[in-house]
């Protein structure tokens, strides 16, 4: 399971999740019953209320929303079960067929519910204000306001229903093609056939020959399927352009910003701040790292290489659990207790295996159940940080769950808060227990690289998406043209410390990144979250008294408050350009320390 750079006990079983808390099996009577009941309830709700919502008083509309929420939660449970089974093995055709079947059935059922949000958006402001006076409806104000924020972009009922029903044969189908292509691919590395996850992992191996071989194997593999990846990218970009045009979104990123409940100008300020900081962050650090490696510039496959003195020999799963939970508990016993539930119960799928989704995620499922975490744990310190990250998502989702299905969901810009904060807590705990200056330097360098990957790399990927979608509006792009956009943005971000020429093999590495396919313009949320957490952590260090309580309240708010309301108790405002500079100064300060070491 692990290579030489991170030896862990291969006999120690890594946890595998048990999805029985959702459904015991794909053919379980409870699953069939939920499908049938959701279909019946959705049709009944539509028959009783379609065309009537604007005429309801606040109490009656509140009761309708309660029914609507219950049906959506039932559909969410069904979809979550199918998605998690699929993530566990995307290569199994029966699992893929089940996932597709559930997706189609839930899409059909939810089509009968579409009238609810469409008609809510047709209520005039005066009538809506009167309806909100009823406590039964006022509870849902944040969700209703989010729904109504899309009013200027809503199309006719017939077009909205068509777009909804065609999703499974449109963007969703292209997503599936991408996922299954990646899952089935094998990459030739040193005479072995590796999955994408296995090959990408070797890019952080201690052996430079393995890193180079992995990079070459990945590049060759991506190039062999470049026609497919280019078709998927072009089609999805055009699909988005068509819908954005119909909905009158001014920019490709605007729909994502609206869904994230963050203003365009706030995102623009973040992007500008990070790009302006490239020279003092990534450019400076990678030149420093190249100096440590005794070269003028690093090959691209050495960007995340362990430092020459790094003796990281791996962290067992029990030790990783202990490290993360101790860090969480030291900050807040309540946070630690919530995190412990994931280890005491089968809520984590940790081991890498063929067919499994690459990377890591936390899936919230539905409030009546609990989140699940997926990882590909290989025993490195970076994997411990990934565990801390995904566990942060998990405890956030547990805390927000009591808000209910419609109000628990957090905008992406705030969804990364708990995950990145969990990483910071774990890093600081690791740093605190180390007295060896060399080990501390290695830990600090590793943290800087993680932060650069979270902030600089994600903004560079955001810039790639922006240029790709802008250019795609002029016509279909060739793989070489896509690769040039990718390389241009990466060269700008990484600077002279990384060797990247116009014909670099790295020009095909845009092909494997799932965020571009599944969630266009998702990636800036990582940078938003990292800068936000840096600012939050600075407040915690300055004024720790009472901070954990306010922090848990922030997480428990779920989607009931926007970023300005949530950050106000900490004296922070993301609309202030200085906010981003404060967050970025934390990264710069760490690099200052490394330069002095």
Cα separation, 30 vs 24, in Å, equals: 8
CA–CA distances in Å: residue 247 to residues 145, 159, 252, 435: 18, 11, 11, 57
User: How many CB atoms lie under 10 A from the CB of residue 294?
Assistant: 7
For residue 7, name the pLDDT band (cuts at 50, 70, 90).
very low
Q: pLDDT grade, residue 312 (50/70/90)?
A: low
- What's this model's pTM, rounded to 2 decimal places? 0.87
pLDDT band at 13; cut points 50, 70, 90: confident
Percentage with pLDDT > 90 across the chain = 86
Maximum alpha-carbon separation in the chain: 74
Q: How many CB atoms lie within 10 A of CB 134?
A: 17
With H, G, I as helix, E, B as strand and everything else as coil, classify residue 188. Answer: strand
On the question of pLDDT at 1 being above 50, the answer is: no
- How do beta strands 372-374 and 348-349 pair? parallel
Rounded mean pLDDT, 254-265: 92
Q: Residue 461: what pLDDT?
A: 98
Residue 16's pLDDT is 97
- Apex CA 83: angle with CA 355 and CA 561, to 5°? 130
Look at residue 11 and tell me whether its pLDDT is greater than 70. no
> Dihedral, CA atoms, 376, 91, 511, 203, nearest 10 degrees?
30
What is the mean predicted confidence (pLDDT) over 332-345?
A: 98
Among 167-181, 249-263, 307-321, 581-595, the minimum mean pLDDT is found in 307-321
Task: Reply yes or no on whether the pLDDT at 238 is more than 50.
Answer: yes
Choice between 289 and 380, residue whose per-residue pLDDT is larger: 289
What pLDDT score does 3 carry? Answer: 36
Q: Residue 262 in contact with residue 413, Cβ under 8 Å?
A: yes
Nearest to 510 by CA among 237, 286, 239: 237
Tokens of 85: 């089974």
Q: Is pLDDT of 360 > 80?
A: yes
Question: How does residue 152 score in pLDDT terms, banded at 50, 70 and 90?
Answer: very high
- Pick the range with the lowest mean pLDDT from 8-17, 141-150, 234-243, 563-572: 8-17
pLDDT at site 389 = 96
pLDDT digits (tens, 9 = 90+) for 320-337: 999 999 999 999 999 999
CA distances from 83 to 108, 133, 324, 404, 484 (A): 17, 39, 27, 21, 34
Locate all alpha helices (DSSP H) within 133-263, ordered by sequence: 135-138, 141-148, 157-166, 171-184, 196-201, 208-224, 226-247, 254-259
pLDDT tens per residue across span 431-440? 998 888 888 8
Q: What is the pLDDT of residues 367-426, one digit of tens each?
A: 999 999 999 999 988 899 999 999 999 999 999 999 999 999 988 888 889 999 999 999
pLDDT digits (tens, 9 = 90+) for 210-235: 999 999 999 999 999 999 999 999 99
pLDDT (average), residues 447-471: 96
- Average pLDDT of every residue of the chain: 94
Confidence of residue 12 (pLDDT cuts 50, 70, 90): low
Beta bridge partners of 362: 373
pLDDT of residue 395: 98
Q: What is the pLDDT of residue 549?
A: 96
As a whole number of angstroms, the distance between CA 39 and CA 595 comes to 62
- Spatial distance between the Cα atoms of 229 and 33, rounded to a whole number of angstroms: 39
Confidence (pLDDT) at 243: 97
Say whether pLDDT at 18 is over 50.
yes
pLDDT tens-place string over residues 32-85:
999 999 999 999 999 999 999 999 999 999 999 999 999 999 999 999 999 999
Residue 18 and residue 29: Cα distance in Å, rounded? 18
pLDDT number for residue 2: 34
**pLDDT value at position 4?**
33
Q: How far apart are CA 397 and CA 391, in angstroms?
A: 10
What is the per-residue pLDDT for 6?
43
Task: Yes or no: say if 167 and 114 are a contact pair by the CB < 8 Å rule.
Answer: no
Task: Tell me if the domain spanning 19-169 has CATH number 1.10.760.10.
Answer: no
The residue to which tokens 């809503």 are assigned: 154
pLDDT (0 to 100) of residue 179: 94
Q: What is the pLDDT of residue 439?
A: 86
CA distance 560 to 139: 9
Write down the pLDDT at residue 196: 93
Residue 595 phi/psi, 5-degree rounding, is -65, -30
């Amino acid at each position: 399971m692990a290579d030489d750079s991170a030896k862990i006990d291969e006999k120690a079983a890594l946890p595998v999740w048990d999805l029985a808390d959702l459904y015991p099996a794909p053919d379980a009577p409870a699953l069939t019953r939920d499908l049938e009941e959701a279909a019946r309830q959705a049709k009944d709700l539509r028959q009783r209320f379609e065309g009537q919502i604007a005429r309801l008083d606040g109490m009656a509309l509140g009761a309708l929303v309660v029914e609507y929420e219950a049906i959506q939660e039932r559909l969410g449970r069904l979809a979550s079960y199918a998605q998690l089974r699929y993530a566990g093995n995307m290569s199994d055709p029966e699992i893929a067929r089940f996932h597709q079947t559930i997706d189609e059935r839930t899409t059909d059922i939810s089509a009968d519910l579409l009238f609810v949000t469409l008609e809510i958006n047709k209520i005039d402001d005066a009538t809506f204000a009167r309806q909100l006076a009823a406590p039964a409806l006022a509870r849902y104000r944040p969700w209703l306001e989010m729904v109504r924020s899309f009013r200027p972009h809503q199309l006719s009922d017939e077009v909205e229903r068509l777009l909804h029903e065609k999703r499974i044969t449109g963007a969703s189908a292209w997503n599936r093609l991408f996922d299954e292509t990646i899952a089935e691919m094998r990459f030739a590395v040193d005479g072995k056939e590796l999955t994408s996850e296995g090959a990408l992992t070797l890019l952080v191996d201690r052996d430079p020959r393995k890193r180079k071989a992995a990079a070459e194997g990945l590049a060759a593999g991506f190039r062999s399927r470049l026609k497919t990846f280019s078709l998927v990218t072009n089609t999805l970009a055009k699909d988005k352009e068509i819908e954005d045009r119909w909905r009158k979104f001014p920019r490709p990123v605007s729909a994502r910003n609206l869904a994230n409940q963050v203003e365009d100008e706030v995102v623009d300020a973040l992007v500008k701040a990070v790009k302006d900081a490239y020279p003092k962050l990534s450019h400076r650090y990678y030149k420093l790292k190249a100096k440590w490696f005794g070269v003028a510039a690093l090959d691209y496959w050495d960007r995340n290489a362990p430092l020459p003195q790094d003796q990281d020999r791996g962290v067992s799963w029990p030790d990783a659990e202990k490290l993360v939970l101790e860090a969480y508990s030291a900050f807040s016993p309540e946070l630690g207790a919530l995190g412990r539930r994931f280890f005491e119960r089968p809520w984590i799928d940790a081991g890498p295996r063929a067919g499994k989704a690459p990377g890591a995620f936390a899936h919230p499922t539905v409030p009546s159940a609990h989140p699940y975490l997926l990882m590909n744990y290989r025993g490195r310190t970076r994997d411990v940080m990934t565990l801390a990250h995904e566990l942060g998502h998990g405890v956030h989702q547990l805390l927000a769950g009591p808000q209910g299905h419609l109000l628990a969901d957090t905008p992406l810009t705030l969804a990364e808060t708990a995950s990145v904060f969990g990483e910071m807590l774990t890093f600081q705990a690791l740093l605190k227990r180390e007295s060896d200056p060399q080990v501390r330097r290695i830990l600090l360098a590793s943290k800087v690289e993680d932060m650069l990957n979270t902030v600089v790399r994600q903004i560079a990927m955001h810039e790639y998406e922006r240029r790709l979608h802008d250019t795609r509006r002029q016509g279909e792009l060739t793989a070489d043209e896509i690769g040039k956009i990718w390389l241009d943005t990466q060269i700008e971000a990484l600077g002279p410390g990384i060797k990247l020429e116009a014909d670099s093999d790295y020009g095909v590495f845009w092909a494997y990144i799932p965020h571009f396919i599944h969630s266009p313009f998702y990636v800036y949320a990582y940078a938003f979250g990292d800068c936000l957490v840096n600012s939050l952590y600075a407040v915690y260090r300055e004024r720790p008294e009472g901070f954990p309580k306010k922090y848990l309240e922030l997480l428990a708010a779920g989607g009931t408050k926007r970023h300005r309301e949530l950050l106000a108790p900490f004296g922070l405002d993301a609309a202030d350009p200085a906010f981003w500079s404060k967050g970025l100064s934390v990264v710069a300060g760490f690099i200052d320390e490394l330069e002095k070491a």
